[in-house]
Amino acid sequence: MHITPETLFETRRHFLKLGAGALVSSTAISQLLAELPQDMSLSYTPDINLQKLSSNTFEQITNYVNFYEFSTDKTAPVKLSQKMKTTPWSVGLSGEINKKQTLEVDELIAKFGLEERIYRFRCVEGWSMVVPWIGFPLYKLLDYLEPNSKAKYVKFTTKHDPSIFPDQAKGIFSSINYPYVEGLRMDEARHPLTFIAVGMYGKRLLPQNGAPIRLVVPWKYGFKSIKSLDKIELVESEPLNTWQEQNPKEYGFYANVNPAVDHPRWTQAKERLLGKLTKQDTLPFNGYEKEVASLYAGMDLRKFF
Ligand code: MTE
């Protein structure tokens, strides 16, 4: 993470509030640092963009979202999420690993560094976009945690906090069961394309896109890319993911983008790229077939949808 001249200026201003030359206790210093306006910009290695994808605009990506914890509407979460406090934010790392611990988002960034990944993103509903994510590949974190031989799947959980998320506060009247859960098989989780995002377009994620930290699995339908992570657990058996639990006839565990297998209520052969009026063909594995098809060799992808 880099420090901008503005941040340094703000830091000095905060310290000056105490009076020049005053002796400052270390608790007072951490309190002052915590009050600092968060530096939203991130430093990262740019993607070489081999596939020459052209990204959707920041406005498009941040104004058309799915975030049920706020609302089932596509635009309402934008307003409803603006007061969400995303610092400090820690992620619990547990289960079948040697190094169980809790880490702050900034500690994760410091440990694993940041790079850009310009990825296609295809929602199961039939819309798509291209996003210049910033983050680190999940395998770096998994390697660091030292999984044991019982670790067969990774289970991801979104934060449960009704004081942040109005739909969670509705209890039995919530739109879906919370907390939102997702899962990946270990080889999927360790695939170099599987990404933990903390930003996009050079800045930290905005709340509506799953701040401060989310999963991105570009060859799977967007619902696998779980937002605002609270926990990552390594587990022995396949986790029951939220949408499969909600409606097992329509949503499975794998959710690989597949134009040949329609959703029971609509075709998956085409998609509408945000900002475009006409539809385009959906690609097998969302355009990442070469990289990931071998993960599913011998599996009937109609059955494991
Ligand atoms: N994660 C949580 N916690 N809650 C959600 O409602 N929606 C999913 C996924 N992750 C969702 C979530 C769906 S259906 C999609 S398509 C993507 O987030 C949307 O990501 P975006 O809003 O950043 O485009």
Q: CA 268, CA 93: separation in Å to the nearest integer?
A: 35
187 C-alpha to ligand 1 centroid (Å): 23
pLDDT band at 7 (very low <50, low <70, confident <90, very high): very low
Contact criterion met (CB below 8 Å) for 38 and 11 = no
Q: What is the DSSP string of 172-205?
A: GGSSS-SS-EEEEEHHHHTSTT-EEEEEETTEEP
Q: Given the CA of residue 222, which atom of ligand 1 is nearest to it? A: 16
pLDDT value of residue 147? 98
pLDDT in tens, 139-183: 999 999 999 999 999 999 999 999 999 999 999 999 999 999 999
Judged against a pLDDT cut of 80, whether residue 249 lies above it is answered with yes
In percent, how much of the chain has pLDDT > 70?
87
For position 30, what pLDDT does the model report? 55
What pLDDT was estimated at residue 35?
Answer: 52
Residue 15 to residue 162: CA distance in whole angstroms:
35
Kindly state the tokens that stand for 14: 């905060």
pLDDT tens for 193-230 read: 999 999 999 999 999 999 999 999 999 999 999 999 99
Domains and CATH numbers, the chain: 1-36 (no CATH), 42-296 (3.90.420.10)
Find tokens 């610092």 and name the residue: 87
Decide if 60 contacts 275 (C-beta within 8 A): yes
pTM to 2 decimal places: 0.89
Question: What CA–CA distances, in Å, run from 6 to 33, 43, 205, 267?
Answer: 14, 15, 20, 50
Atom of ligand 1 nearest to the CA of 208: 22
DSSP string, 43-88: --BPP--TT---PPPHHHHHHS--BTTTBSSSSHHHHHTTT---SS
Average pLDDT over residues 89-104: 98
Q: Buried b / exposed e across 32-46, counting CB within 10 Å, b at 16+?
A: eeeeeeebeebebee
Q: What does the mean pLDDT of the chain come to?
A: 91
Please say if the pLDDT value at position 304 is more than 70: yes
Closest residue (by CA) to atom 9 of ligand 1?
223
Query: What's the pLDDT tens digit per position in 11-70?
Result: 444 444 434 444 455 565 555 545 555 568 999 999 999 999 999 999 999 999 999 999
Position 182 scores a pLDDT of 99
pLDDT for 3 beyond 60: no
Residue nearest to atom 24 of ligand 1 (CA): 65
- CB atoms < 10 A from the CB of 152, how many? 15
State which of 227, 245, 246, 250 you would mutate to test the pocket of ligand 1, scoring each by most atoms of that ligand within 8 A of its C-beta: 227
Which residue in the block uniquely carries the two structure tokens 């594995």?
A: 285
For residue 74, give the nearest of 118, 132, 125 by alpha carbon: 125
Q: Could you tell which of 64, 65, 67 is best to mutate to test the pocket of ligand 1, judged by most ligand atoms within 8 Å of the CB?
A: 67
CA-to-CA distance for 172 and 181, rounded, in angstroms?
A: 18
pLDDT at 10: 44
Scanning the structure block, which residue is given the tokens 């000095």? 12
pLDDT category, 259, cuts 50, 70, 90?
very high
Residue located nearest, by CA, to atom 17 of ligand 1:
222
